[in-house]
Amino acid sequence: MTHPSPRGPRRAVLALLAALLLPAATPTTAQDAYPSRSVRLVVPFVPGGVTDTSARVVAEYLGRRLAQQVIVDNRPGASGNIGTAQVAGAAPDGYTLLLAFDGTMVINPHVFAKVPFDTMRDFASVGRIGTATLVLAANPELPARTLGEVLALSKSRPGGLSYGTSGIGGTPHIAGEQLAQRSGAKLEHVPYKGGGQAIADTIGGSIPLVYTAVAGAQGHVKSGKLRAIAVSSARRNGALPDVPTFIESGFPDFVAESWVGILAPAKTPPAITARLNAELNTVLSDPALRERLATLGIEATPGTPEQFREQMRTDLANYGPIVKAAGIKLE
């Protein structure tokens, strides 16, 4: 007569204990491995501008954090609409991202009769990169030194005062229209194909005022070729600390800043956007990167995806009435 060996039951018990004590194995998903290849950052403008340069700086640092190359892909056209629409229609897998610019995302929908994307519906927020302060500056020969004096002078002249900007529908243009609407000043917009030419014509005396980014104007202000009137940021700018804000100059809550950030196609997995946001905030806290952005006139502003999305929602709502009242339209 044979008896069963006690080793069999003992082995079964040990195997059961091992299964209970060891962590359960889970299959690796594409999200867990993200990113497993290079990431494309679409810039909807031509190479060389501040927006493009800021994208390349951030892509360099972000690529190090992700251990994958972040490739800048310029897709210009229709004031940023073409490249932006391409990202809206891309696969929501985290491998195609958009360098979002406020002019494209929150002004174009009001200025153009039709845009090929919906700002709030077609994108998932990753995070804001930073903001660029704008300044209203004058030719030094203009007999006005403060914002109040500039506005009063515009009302006293039959044709008012003209101001140059980088083009129709840009943030400086909208800010100028907002100032005219709130103050009743006679301000005539003169669009250029870039802020540099508007600055040059103001220095040369062809136009009395220019509304532009601090980065492009600060050198001329410090040399005396331009007189800074006011900055339209919430607080004074470090590059021009002696120049008052519009708020200090008598216009409560007047804040008009340009911003850049990163968006992904809608339905991108939250785990991926959270990873990208965490890495973006890490690089934006790097002093070396902050300094490089500062040379472009951009102040790094780390934050959450929700904060960036709310910024877009607020600006989209605020700019609509200004654009409509000014009658700004582009085909």
Sorted by where each begins, the domain ranges of the chain are 39-131+258-326, 134-231
User: Is the per-residue pLDDT at 104 higher than 70?
Assistant: yes
User: Is the per-residue pLDDT at 27 higher than 50?
Assistant: no
Q: 161-182 pLDDT, tens per residue? A: 999 999 999 999 999 999 999 9
Could you tell me which residues come within 8 angstroms of residue 325 by beta carbon, excluding any fewer than 6 positions away?
177, 181
Are 39-131+258-326 and 134-231 in the same CATH fold?
Answer: yes
Q: What is the DSSP letter of 33?
A: T
User: Is the per-residue pLDDT at 15 higher than 60?
Assistant: no
Q: 43-97 pLDDT, tens per residue? A: 999 998 889 999 999 999 999 999 999 999 999 999 999 999 999 999 999 999 9
Q: Name the CATH topology of 39-131+258-326.
A: D-Maltodextrin-Binding Protein; domain 2 (3.40.190)
Could you tell me which residues come within 8 angstroms of residue 186 by beta carbon, excluding any fewer than 6 positions away?
154, 155, 157, 159, 160, 161, 180
- Asked which of 193-197, 277-281, 283-287 is least confident by mean pLDDT, the reply is 193-197
Burial of 234 (0-12, 13-18, 19+ CB in 10 A): middle
User: Is the per-residue pLDDT at 263 higher than 90?
Assistant: yes
pTM (predicted TM-score): 0.84
pLDDT at 32 (0 to 100): 62
Q: What is the mean pLDDT of residues 21-37?
A: 60
Which of 2, 8, 329, 7 has the alpha carbon at shortest distance from 169?
329
Q: 133-158 pLDDT, tens per residue? A: 999 999 999 999 999 999 999 999 99
Helical segments of 256-304, H only: 270-284, 287-295
Please tell me the CATH superfamily of domain 134-231, with its number: Periplasmic binding protein-like II (3.40.190.10)
pLDDT at 186 (0 to 100): 97
Please, what is the average pLDDT of the chain?
91
